[in-house]
Structure 1
Amino acid sequence: MNNLVQRFLNYVSVDTQSDESSTNCPSSGGQFKLAELIKEELIALGLSDVRLDKHGYLSAKLPTNIDYNVPAIGFIAHMDTAPDASGKDVQPQIVENYQGGDIPLGSSGEVLSPKQFPDLDGLHGQTLITTDGTTLLGADNKAGIAEIITAVATLIANPDIKHGEICIGFTPDEEIGRGADLFDVKNFGAQWAYTIDGGPVGELEYENFNASNAAVTCSGVNVHPGTAKGKMINSMTIAAQFIAKMPTQETPEATEGYQGFFHLTNMDASVAETKLNYIIRDFDAEQQLSRVKFIKRVAEELNQNLTQGSVKIEVTENYRNMREQVEPFPHIIDYAQQAMLACNVKPNIKPIRGGTDGARLSFMGLPCPNIFTGGYNFHGIHEFISVDGMHKAVEVIVKLAEVTAESEKKA
């Protein structure tokens, strides 16, 4: 466990925040710095076929230790952290034997409170790692990296645990939707894989949102306000009309479970032009299509009623629900459930209200469900992780390698 925590702390010390404005891959230099650090660690462990390409994709293999053929399986995590909060100069706090109540986050004035985050009530007695209230922690997804490597090190140190070939991969730029762009599925070598990128202990996910992005541009005419009558068209007024037509009960803050939403993520506003960015999410493909049609129809109706000014909308698809690619292979989920139960973890099969590299990789021919890391509150300054949960993730990865080898031998 000490090695697991130290690995994690080493990784979060490197700023790997991805940059959506960059066209490079990886989009930030820190990701490559972390990849090089991990590469040396993998070589020192004695893994084979350790590869770091020019785009920051890192992979390696642990050879099988059995004399019969079983499918190679993979474990994948991403190296970048989200743009939503700073990942620079992360100062983790270790809270041992948490007994409830508020946790002050450094000297920032921020607190981690069970009143706001009731998951804390179920973690009494555990060791937690939090932020200092000024940055995110980076458990998403450096915890997954640390857990995968610790699991591989455990397999190496315990050759009596039988396993087939284990393929591991660490990707850049997952948080900005590019993690699978240049992933080499063929050379990775696994027949199926698991992203270790989930939250609380027990999470097992093979459904995710269908995801689209809508860029809405409202165009007006800017004229000096002193002589604007009959001439000025304020694009922000048009944008306000557009926003008012969107359903207020179909937003992230009003939905849960399998409910989809429209989410206005940001706007850039002036009199002459206002740009709105919406993300559109739904688990059902037909409902997602209906949502896309709806937002386009809102733009069309506004244009019909405008005598001057205009609304343009461009919708792009980001990723699709991996369920249709994973369900034909039910043993992939079954093995994960068996491994969790063997580690005294109750599987919690639930949909991902977001996306992972695994969603796109599944459509690239690598079925790829998602497994927990033990982390909470990703993408913000209240992010934290349970060390006990991290340890359980390592146990499950090790047991999953063993269960696969045993089950495939019987098959």
Structure 2
Amino acid sequence: MDFNTSLSFTVADRFLRYVRIDTQSDAASPTTPSTEKQKNLGQLLVSELLEIGVADAHLDEFGYVYATIPANSDKRGVPVICFCSHMDTAPDCSGKDVKPLVHKNYTGADIILPDDNTQVIRMQDHPDLKNQIGNDIITASGNTLLGADNKAGVAEIMDACYQLISHPEIKHGTIKILFTPDEEIGRGVDKADIAKIGAFACYTMDGESAGNMENETFSADGAKLTINGVSAHPGFARGKMESAIKIAGHIIAALPDNLSPEHTSDMQGFVHPVDINGHVETATIDFIIRDFEDEKLTEHANVIRQVADDVLKQYPNSTYTLETHEQYRNMKHVLAQNPQIVDYGMEAIRRAGLDAKLCSIRGGTDGSRLSFMGLPAPNIFAGEHAFHSKQEWVSVQDMQKAVETILHLCMVWEEEA
């Protein structure tokens, strides 16, 4: 079925609506969702789903959107599958008053963003632009991020819902929809109701280049190093004071470069200090520890311990403690138990006319957590690029290919049942 000629896509119009709604999450907030404004997008999505005939669409108290498209297949036993994207945008860059711009028929020239002409999107910095000649590129205006991460995925799933309702000739089993808050602050599925979803498999639409599918993520731990120094009046501190602040600085400076994010790539893990607080007597350093192999997380934590031990030899009256906690694990461990979940995804990408490429992601997705909550969830491309920055962009044609991929995926599961 050639969807490119038979469908009237709505994904671009939806995307342009959604990015104008500020949904930035806030890690400092203890609530779920972390910001009430995320519900503004959730309410719009529910109203649009109801309008196209998805009767059970609803927004719960925690800001999650749930919906069901009933099966239209005569086959029994077609597994229930789910599609998921997150509604929030990253705290790294403003998401308020986003002004999306459509640059039609991209020629390969630099794209200068009008509200800040120091923001220039160049092909040399964004290699996937070489695949976008003739396509329509959407950016923000220069003062904000765009929000393609992950409103491109939201718009793609919403358009796919519209197409499934409008085209009953597309045979499928029961399809579940999940839109989450707070993914960008690591809490995207904290309150997700897996029993309500009731699916065998899930696909997050939150990836980058068209054709890519991710079946492997980092495993992740957090760590907190607490340094207990010795305080003294600074006027009488000679031979007495051991400043926890200075100790913390020495520890950070002594971390090996070959374990830092800025010096690693591909399948290499890292140790990354992300926050430091304190005073002379006590200081804390928060780390994130990442690797594709679980056992290496312990090795990386031991590097922090060794560095702290070495530094504190200069401070005989000071001590430290290091506490680690699990954040998420590599979803490949779960997906390997049901290989058809990934295989069907790759087949759907190929049917959309793309070169399917299986990738690892140097990060995590909602799918990382969902997989270990009993809902295996690889990640499919959404066309997002330059995440969390003012140079974020997406192409209309890539989003349309993502919609096609969703529709083909629904059909593959029905065919293989």
Query: Structure 2 length as normaliser, TM-score?
Result: 0.93
Q: Is the 8 A contact 1:299 1:312 kept in 2?
A: no
On the 8 A contact 2:115/2:143 being kept in 1, the answer is no
CA positional deviation for 1:319:
0.2
Distance 2:244 2:144 in 1: 35
Q: Is the 8 A contact 2:242 2:317 kept in 1?
A: yes
User: For residue 276 of structure 2, what is the amino acid of its counterpart?
Assistant: M
Residue 395 of structure 2 aligns to which amino acid in structure 1? S
Does residue 1:12 correspond to 2:12, yes or no? no
Pairwise CA RMSD of aligned residues?
A: 1.7
In the other structure, the counterpart of 2:222 is 213
Give 3-state SS (helix, strand or coil) of 1:13's partner. Answer: coil
Map 1:141-156 to 2 at 5 A: 141-156=150-165
Could you tell me which residue of structure 2 aligns to residue 387 of structure 1? 396
Query: Is 1:94–2:108 an aligned residue pair?
Result: no
Distance 1:92 1:273 in 2: 46
Q: Does 1:330 align with 2:339?
A: yes
Q: Which stretch has the larger CA shift, 211-220 or 104-113?
A: 211-220
- Specify the code of the residue in structure 2 equivalent to 1:106: P
Secondary structure of the residue aligned to 2:150 is helix
Amino acid at match of 1:48: A
Shift of 1:234: 2.5
Candidates 352, 362, 367, aligned match of 2:371 = 362
Matched, 1:125 2:130: no
CA contact (8 A) 2:210 2:401 kept: yes
The residue matched to 1:29 in structure 2 has which SS?
coil
Contact 2:230–2:244 (CA under 8 A) maintained in structure 1: yes
Contact 1:58 1:170 in 2 (8 A): yes
Unaligned runs of 5+ in 2: 1-7
Cα separation, 1, equivalents of 2:333 and 2:106: 41
AA in 2 matched with 1:30: K
- Please state how far the C-alpha of 1:59 moved relative to its aligned partner: 0.6
CA distance, structure 1, for counterparts of residue 214 and residue 148 of structure 2: 18
Matched, 1:78 2:86: yes
Tell whether 2:53 aligns with 1:46: yes
Deviation at 1:337, TM superposition (A): 1.1
- 1:282–1:56 Cα change, 3 Å: same
- Aligned 1:268-307 pairs, distance under 5 A: 268=277, 270-303=279-312, 305-307=314-316
Structure 2 residue 88 is the aligned partner of structure 1 residue 105:
no
Q: CA shift at 1:223, angstroms?
A: 4.6
The equivalent position to 1:320 in structure 2, one of 329, 336, 339, is 329
Tell me if the contact between 2:149 and 2:206 (Cα under 8 Å) persists in the aligned partners. Answer: yes
Q: What is aligned with 2:208?
A: 199
- Cα deviation for residue 267 of structure 1 reads 2.6
Q: Which runs of 5+ in 1 are unaligned?
A: none
Instruction: Write out aligned runs for 1:126-275 (5 A).
Output: 126-223=135-232, 225-268=234-277, 270-275=279-284
Give yes or no for contact 1:95–1:127 (8 Å, CA) kept in 2: yes
Output the CA distance in 1 between the equivalents of 2:276 and 2:150: 28
1:24 is the counterpart of 2:39: no
Aligned residue type for 1:112: I
Aligned to 2:64: 57
Q: Deviations for 1:317-374, whole angstroms, at most 9, x for unmatched residues? A: 1000111111111111111111111111111111111001111111111111000001
* Letter paired with 1:32: K
Provide the identity percentage: 45
Corresponding residue SS for 2:61? coil
For the residues of structure 1 that align with 2:128 and 2:261, how far apart are their CA atoms? 19
Q: TM-score, normalised by structure 1?
A: 0.95
- Describe the SS at the equivalent of 2:162: helix
For residues 267 and 130 of structure 1, the distance between their equivalents in structure 2, rounded to whole angstroms, comes to: 34
